[in-house]
Amino acid sequence: MSSPQRTGGRHSKALWIVPLVILGVLLAAYLGGVVAFSQFFFMPGTTLDGQDVSLRTVDQVAAEKAGALGDYEAHVTGDGVDVEVRASDISLAYDGEAYAREAIGQTNAWAWPVELATGARRTVSAESAVVFDRDALLSLFQPSIDAASQRVKELGGDAVSYDAEQGAFVLDSGVAASYLDADALVDALSRAFTDRAASIELGADELAHTDDALHAALDAANAYLAAAGSALALDGQEARAVTADDIAGWVSVGDDLTVSLDQDAVGAWVNEAVGSLNTVGSERTYTRPDGKQVTVSGGSYGWEVDEGSATTSLVDALNAHEARQVDVPYSQSGQVAPDDGGRDWGSRYIDIDLTEQHVRMYDDSGALIWESDCVSGDHSQGYDTPTGVNQVNSNMATGDVQLRGLDYNGDGEPDYISHVKYWIPFVGNLVALHDANWRSSFGGSIYQYNGSHGCVNLPVDKAAELYNLVKLGDVVVVHY
């Protein structure tokens, strides 16, 4: 006979087990869904890079991505490089597995019941690297490398040449391929393949090693160009700049790829440049403030410089690969460095125009501050006033200045004795600007038949004005 209490205990236990079983089944189903949607299947409503992948397997998506490059081709170019690369030649493919795993990892598998219940949609995106046969890829470039290597042997030092447009030494066209940097090339192409680039232009990083003899020669030649911007200077004033084109003419690359500086060529350039700085007596061309173009030569004013030490200093700058100011030693100086026309005096000067028979003085700003007609040396007697560039000298005088002519007639006496009040000499103490109270007129053609013995005659009042304006050292330019 059964006990009522025991029967009631069994029913209570059964009622307690059923919910646990149901909960266990639900939990197992939930966890199974988490595993499925995090490892194997994309959740419904999932779009990957614009493609619906709902309930597709990771393997399916991976396989489809891996095969996406099957018909891909790229044209690779650069100095000495022209190569067609096909995906089939190098077993090129996307890393589909990594792509699919990255994409499914962006879905929230733990929320799959809610996602399914609400019909939520999600958009994900993933990156995919490419995989390929590295050796097969490099073999496609070997013909270009071999051809360029042969060209290097044929050219020797001529493989390096100066490109004036770039202002640098460069490798001859077709040479660079022999020095393709394999690692840089693979990295660059890998990025381009990932982007499915149809045309790929190789740059300097991919085309050059830095440790080979040819590129060492290229670097050595270009190192000299760092001295571009050096300049010859006169008394601190830049007179002649050194350009990259100049330096390129002094640097040579031998057939054994050694780089040398031709010091004789540097010296020749310095001699030519400094020669133009030796201005004493040289031909100078300038434009007077009133616009007249003047060419003059002769005289004792200007620069006298030394070429030898300037060459040594410039060679030192070139070998140091840096721009420097090279001060040119001089024994006599002008006021300023010569310009392109050779003018080496400032705005303040006295201009004696023998053709116009007119004298002008300009101040430091180039403004006309004084002018007068004049009478210069008698052309008919051969007493022409000497042309050239000189300076007012320390023989200046005022008062009763006696002028004693030379003894051309050989009678033992000066050919003439005259008295003037204002004496402004510019050729020793022989040729000067001075007053001439014995003349009643100035200018015109008087000098052709009744000129001076070489001096420049002025009206007394004009000579007085000029005397009070001039300073020792003022430049005097006499020209036709």
Res. 209 pLDDT band, cuts 50 70 90: low
* 389-413 mean pLDDT: 85
Predicted confidence at residue 3, as pLDDT, reads 45
Integer Cα distance of 423 and 395 in angstroms: 8
Give 72-111 as a DSSP string. Answer: -EEEEEETTEEEEEEHHHHT-EE-HHHHHHHHHTTS-GGG
Predicted confidence at residue 2, as pLDDT, reads 44
Is the pLDDT reported for residue 238 higher than 50?
A: yes
Torsion angle (degrees, nearest 10) of CA 108, 113, 117, 122? 10
Residues forming a β-bridge with 478 = 352, 388
Most confident of 197-211, 346-360, 412-426: 346-360
Residue 287, token pair as written in the block? 């434009």
Res. 397 pLDDT band, cuts 50 70 90: very high
Predicted confidence at residue 28, as pLDDT, reads 65
pTM for the whole structure:
0.56
**Mean pLDDT (the chain, rounded):** 87
| Weakest mean pLDDT among 285-289, 327-331, 431-435 | 327-331
Residue 329, token pair as written in the block? 């030693």
Most confident of 76-85, 150-159, 272-281, 455-464: 455-464
Do 230 and 105 form a contact (C-beta atoms < 8 A)?
A: no
* 249-269 mean pLDDT: 94
Do 147 and 80 form a contact (C-beta atoms < 8 A)?
A: yes
CB crowding 245-269: b at 16 or more within 10 Å, else e? ebbbebbebeeebebebeeeebbeb
Is the pLDDT reported for residue 55 higher than 60?
A: yes
Compute the half-sphere exposure of residue 131: CA atoms within 13 Å on the CB side of its CA: 9
Instruction: Give the residue carrying structure tokens 């990957």.
Output: 48
Integer Cα distance of 357 and 448 in angstroms: 11
Res. 178 pLDDT band, cuts 50 70 90: confident
Interior CA angle at 261 toward 256 and 266, to 5°? 150
DSSP 8-state assignment for residue 309: H
Q: How many other β-carbons are positioned within 10 Å of the β-carbon of residue 466?
A: 22
Residue 452, token pair as written in the block? 């001076």
Domains of the chain: 226-289+297-332 (3.10.20.800), 349-479 (2.40.440.10)
DSSP 8-state assignment for residue 8: H
Please name the amino acid found at residue 12: S
Compute the half-sphere exposure of residue 47: CA atoms within 13 Å on the CB side of its CA: 7
242, burial (CB in 10 Å: exposed 0-12, middle 13-18, buried 19+): buried
Pairing of the two strands 231-234 and 237-241: antiparallel
Q: How many other β-carbons are positioned within 10 Å of the β-carbon of residue 107?
A: 20
Do 160 and 217 form a contact (C-beta atoms < 8 A)?
A: yes
Radius of gyration (C-alpha) of the chain in whole angstroms: 47
- Which is it for the CA torsion 134, 136, 140, 146, positive or negative? positive
DSSP 8-state assignment for residue 160: E
pLDDT in tens, 297-308: 999 999 999 878
Integer Cα distance of 92 and 109 in angstroms: 32
Integer Cα distance of 429 and 402 in angstroms: 12
pLDDT in tens, 75-132: 999 877 899 999 899 988 877 677 768 767 777 777 677 777 777 788 887 777 788 8
* 147-159 mean pLDDT: 80
Is the pLDDT reported for residue 4 higher than 80?
A: no
Predicted confidence at residue 280, as pLDDT, reads 96
Integer Cα distance of 35 and 39 in angstroms: 6
Predicted confidence at residue 62, as pLDDT, reads 72
Residue 398, token pair as written in the block? 């005022």
What share of the chain has pLDDT > 70, as a percent? 90
Integer Cα distance of 68 and 306 in angstroms: 75
